[in-house]
Amino acid sequence: MSRRTAPPDPRKRMQMADLARLAGVSASTVSRALAGSPLISEDTRERIQTLARQFNYTVNSVATDLRSGVKRTIAVVVPYEPGTRQSFADPFLHGMIGALADALTERGYEMLLSRIDAERLDAAASLVDGGRAAGLILIGQWRHHDQLNAMAERGLPLVVWGAKLPRQQYCTVGGDNLQGGRLVAEHLIVQHRRRLVFLGDTGLPEVAQRFRGFTAVLKEHGVELQLRANVPFLVESGRQTMAALLDEQPDIDGVFASSDLLAMAAIGALRERGRRVPEDVAVVGYDDVELSRHFNPPLTTVSQPIHEGGAAMVEQLLAQLAGEAVTRARVLDTRLVERESSRAAGSPAHG
């Protein structure tokens, strides 16, 4: 075997010079390739990144930061699903990104915001492996529990905003979705709503838990859910789905939408059909985004502790980077905020 292609000594931590020798390039080329520099050809970048993964090579980002004088960086990743095409304009994402930016700034870290194909979440590892970030915060599990477990098992510093799931190897922070669903059901029952529908994609772990909590309370009260629809967190999809549900069952009198964005879309569809909110149909959303209190009518919703959650995710990740033990799943309280979109005439306000 030639000197250039001989593998490094497995007893020693791989250095950039070792990777450069294996790739047949200079150390500066390796550095630029792992940082994703456009100055390096795509073929060369891919070859170097493949070798880095093969030999579990990671850049000592702390040492790099000390040499450069640049603050430490955390990557905040928003997975992108081509099938749903959820936009960055989603108000929940705005709120969570803002909360994370505040928490990181307070602790002397910079935020690198990135969007990565949800089917290739492992690509997020290159942000750490290439030295661009010390660790990762993902906003949402989506449908990729196994991918996230695999990333955690390889020792990647990682925290996810999401639900507590069985056999979970990675760290999550998230709201109590089961409790949130229960609160909505109890509220609609108190408001004497009985012909209820649910809007939300139960293929997503958080939405599935909201649905379970909601239907468990309905069952306890002998109320049967009339309709449910799997719909992504998109305004147009929500509007079209709500219109279709009204065609199927015009006498709907209560809607639980698994996000505030879907709730607002549902209200738009109801208005188009001449249905009054809340007089004819009570509507409840989820998240308590800033816009929900200014919407017309102001939206009843389940408040997720977005700012507390952002701070908790940063704390959990920094603990991992410091080599400390962390709780794999931290579940935060949720509460119902009652506003005009579901309030019966004469009903007092709560929340």
Residue 349 resides in a domain? no
Does 170 share its domain with 317? yes
Does 154 share its domain with 73? yes
The pLDDT of residue 95 is above 60: yes
Residue 343 resides in a domain? no
Range of the domain at 94: 63-175+306-333
Does 117 share its domain with 158? yes
Residue 41 resides in a domain? no
Does 285 share its domain with 193? yes
Number of domains in the chain: 2
Does 261 share its domain with 116? no
Residue 218 resides in a domain? yes
Residue 192 resides in a domain? yes
Residue 339 resides in a domain? no
Does 139 share its domain with 206? no
b/e code 71-87 from CB counts within 10 Å (16+ = b): ebbbbbbbbbbeebebe
Does 79 share its domain with 147? yes
CATH number of the domain enclosing 90: 3.40.50.2300
Of all residues in the chain, what percent carry a pLDDT higher than 90?
59
Does 165 share its domain with 314? yes
pLDDT band at 68; cut points 50, 70, 90: very low
Which residue spans within the chain are E strands per DSSP? Answer: 72-80, 109-117, 135-139, 158-161, 171-175, 196-199, 227-229, 254-257, 282-287, 300-303, 329-332, 335-337
Residue 219 resides in a domain? yes
What region, left, alpha or beta, does residue 316 occupy, with left being phi > 0 and alpha being psi -120 to 50 degrees?
Answer: alpha
The per-residue pLDDT for 141 is: 85
Q: What does the alpha-carbon distance between residue 296 and residue 349 come to, in Å, rounded to a whole number?
A: 16
Q: Which of 26-40, 63-77, 166-180 has the lowest mean pLDDT?
A: 63-77
The one-letter code for the residue type at 316 is: Q
Does 100 share its domain with 211? no
Does 70 share its domain with 127? yes
The one-letter code for the residue type at 141 is: Q
Residue 163 resides in a domain? yes
Q: pTM of the full predicted structure?
A: 0.77
pLDDT band at 69; cut points 50, 70, 90: very low
Does 235 share its domain with 292? yes
Does 185 share its domain with 293? yes
The per-residue pLDDT for 119 is: 76
